[in-house]
Amino acid sequence: MDTLLSTSIELNKVNILLTLLFSIGWIVIAKPLQLYHNSSIRFALANLLFALALLLDFRHPDNPTLFLWVIADIILLISFIIYNLALRHLFRLTIDPKWFSSMIILVSVAYVLFLAGWITPETVAVMSLIMVIVVMLATLKMKFNALHAAFSANIASILCLADVLIITMVASKLTFWAFALPLPQNSLFFSPYNPSLMLWMQVVLIILINTTAVGTTISRLIVRMKYLAEHDQLTGLLNRRAFQAQLEYQFSLFQRYQRPFSILMLDIDYFKLINDTFGHSAGDKAIVHTARQLKQQVRQSDLVARFGGEEFIVLLADQSLTEAKLIADKICQSLSETKWADAADPLTISIGCVEASQARDPDQLLKLADDALYQAKANGRDQAVMAGSKVSYLT
């Protein structure tokens, strides 16, 4: 018995040390490295609270202190709520503080009732752990859906493994006590019937949940880096490199399956005059306004990119040249009818339209669109011009 107790004490110390080390690691990620500051601080706080729960539960069995292990279970609940909030910040999801606040208020009221002697400490602990399960189920669903959307079901399943194990561990403990044994006079989360086994499980879970959290953070960083590499910083549209990659893919589909698409090459008229008259910040505002109008005038399935400077490009899937011309005319009209600055006239834009069937390869398609755009400029601007006949480019 003394050997078992000594082993449990040492394992508990290891668990506390692990959570403190992981807390320091998350603080390093948040501060010096400046990676996902809000999420990393919350991960660190969740670890610190978990360490505090372990410390409060860490006592000699000859001197049990009931109110300490009840507090430990409440702190445990708060640590998992903060873990959920950390993931919500990481995935940029909406925060629902009312739901979490109501849980904390409910368990705090139960604790006050326990201090008043109206309910048993076991009831408070059971309530806390049931709420832990509810929080972790919500966390598991949120985390899996976010990772599945960004990567794949396999990656999401691997990174959610620790959350599943926590739910299983807490649920099995509650079930065991509800149907197999009377409730013991110590913490529900740190079971007395096999303390060494439970403490070893905690060692594994502390390591696993933190490493998967790091993996999730790195995965979000990869997604963010990929987004920054493929999107224009000012407008949020695709950049030239990303658009050309999509164009090559769409052209390969056209060549294999004859799936039509068209291209619009667009350029803001008299953009240099805007910069000279109103300044470069006004020029940026004009570019952002144009980008917003383009997104509003095309379908969600169409690709819109900033091609460079004041030039934009749009890929219209499953659209013929005639249909593309109608959309281009609508874009011209929309821009000319909306104000982008109080002291400035509405913007106008020139557009060159071309269909995939008019070119042998993506480079020629872009050249035709650029030629049509040049013709629109030469014709007086504020208009759309279609590229020439497709027959001459297929020979």
Q: Which fold has domain 240-394?
A: Alpha-Beta Plaits (3.30.70)
Closest CA to 263 of 138, 373, 120: 373
Dist. CA 386–CA 185, nearest whole Å:
83
pLDDT band per the 50, 70, 90 thresholds, residue 9: low
Pair 167, 137: CB distance under 8 Å: yes
> Residue 173 corresponds to which tokens in the numbers above?
């403990």
pLDDT of 257 higher than 60: yes
Query: In the prediction, which pLDDT does 113 show?
Result: 83
> Residue 166 corresponds to which tokens in the numbers above?
């926590």
- The region that residue 247 occupies, defined by phi over 0 for left and psi between -120 and 50 for alpha, beta otherwise, is alpha
> Residue 12 corresponds to which tokens in the numbers above?
């508990």
Strand partners, 238: 231, 305
What does each C-alpha distance from 353 to 205, 261, 372 come to in angstroms?
58, 11, 6
- Structure-derived torsion over alpha carbons of residues 169, 172, 176, 178, reported in degrees to the nearest 10: 110
What does each C-alpha distance from 365 to 219, 296, 354, 356, 375 come to in angstroms?
36, 25, 7, 7, 15
More confident residue, 111 or 279: 279
What ranges do the domains of the chain cover?
A: 2-230, 240-394
227-246 average pLDDT score: 93
Question: Taking the complete model, does pTM exceed 0.75, yes or no?
Answer: no
300-323 average pLDDT score: 93
51-64 average pLDDT score: 65
146-154 average pLDDT score: 86
SS3 308: strand
* 25-34, 180-189, 351-360: segment of lowest average pLDDT: 180-189
Count of beta carbons in the 10 Å neighbourhood of residue 222? 12
Q: Which fold has domain 2-230?
A: Rhopdopsin 7-helix transmembrane proteins (1.20.1070)
84-99 pLDDT, tens digit each: 999 988 888 877 667 7
Mean pLDDT estimate for the chain: 83
Question: Of the ranges 124-133, 144-153, 371-380, which is most confident?
Answer: 371-380
